């Protein structure tokens, strides 16, 4: 299982790539593996205000439907339309072409609440 060192993680299995005052969000390798083959992705709308832990979309797989939660609060400034049209990218490249959206952070201090790679590995090993 891949857990890139440069990302932050939520306990709900979302990853966050911090780029200045923006965070790119996706689901982790662990999450995509647990879901199985992803067949549909529902993304948030650009301009939507999101709260930490708020639902920003959902992922449907051959096994189940799972909600996606915002790891930070802010405003959605971009969505990955490619992920919506080719949802299997979440399985084949969860940290690359399978990203879901970008959020402009309203409170950068909230990033401190996210897990680093080592803490996320501990979470998924149990």
Structural domain spans, the chain: 8-107
Could you read off the pLDDT of 79-96 as tens digits, one per residue?
A: 999 999 999 999 999 999
pLDDT of res. 1: 86
Which helix or strand (DSSP H or E) is residue 4 part of?
Answer: none
On the CB side of 73, CA atoms within 13 Å amount to 8
Distance CA 76, CA 105 (A): 9
**In the predicted model, what is the mean pLDDT of residues 50-78?**
95
Distance CA 57, CA 69 (A): 7
The total of other beta-carbon atoms located within 10 Å of residue 126's CB is 4
**CATH T-level fold of 8-107:** OB fold (Dihydrolipoamide Acetyltransferase, E2P) (2.40.50)
Q: Is the pLDDT reported for residue 54 higher than 80?
A: yes
Cα–chain center distance at 111 = 14
Q: What is the mean pLDDT of the chain?
A: 95
E strands, 20-125, in order: 22-27, 38-42, 49-50, 55-61, 65-69, 74-79, 101-105
Q: Is the pLDDT reported for residue 19 higher than 90?
A: yes
Distance CA 119, CA 21 (A): 23
Distance CA 88, CA 107 (A): 32
CA diameter of the chain: 37
């Amino acid at each position: 299982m891949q857990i890139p060192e440069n990302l932050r993680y939520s306990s709900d299995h979302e990853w966050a790539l911090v780029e200045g005052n923006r965070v790119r969000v996706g689901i982790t390798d662990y999450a995509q593996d647990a879901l199985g083959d992803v067949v549909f992705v529902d993304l948030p709308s650009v301009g939507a205000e999101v709260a930490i832990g708020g639902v920003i979309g959902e992922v449907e797989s051959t096994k189940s439907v799972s909600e996606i939660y915002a790891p930070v609060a802010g405003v959605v400034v971009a969505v990955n339309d490619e992920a919506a049209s080719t949802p299997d990218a979440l399985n084949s490249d969860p940290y690359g072409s399978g990203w879901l959206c970008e959020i402009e952070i309203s409170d950068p201090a909230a990033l401190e609440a996210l897990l680093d790679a080592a803490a996320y590995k501990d979470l998924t090993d149990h």
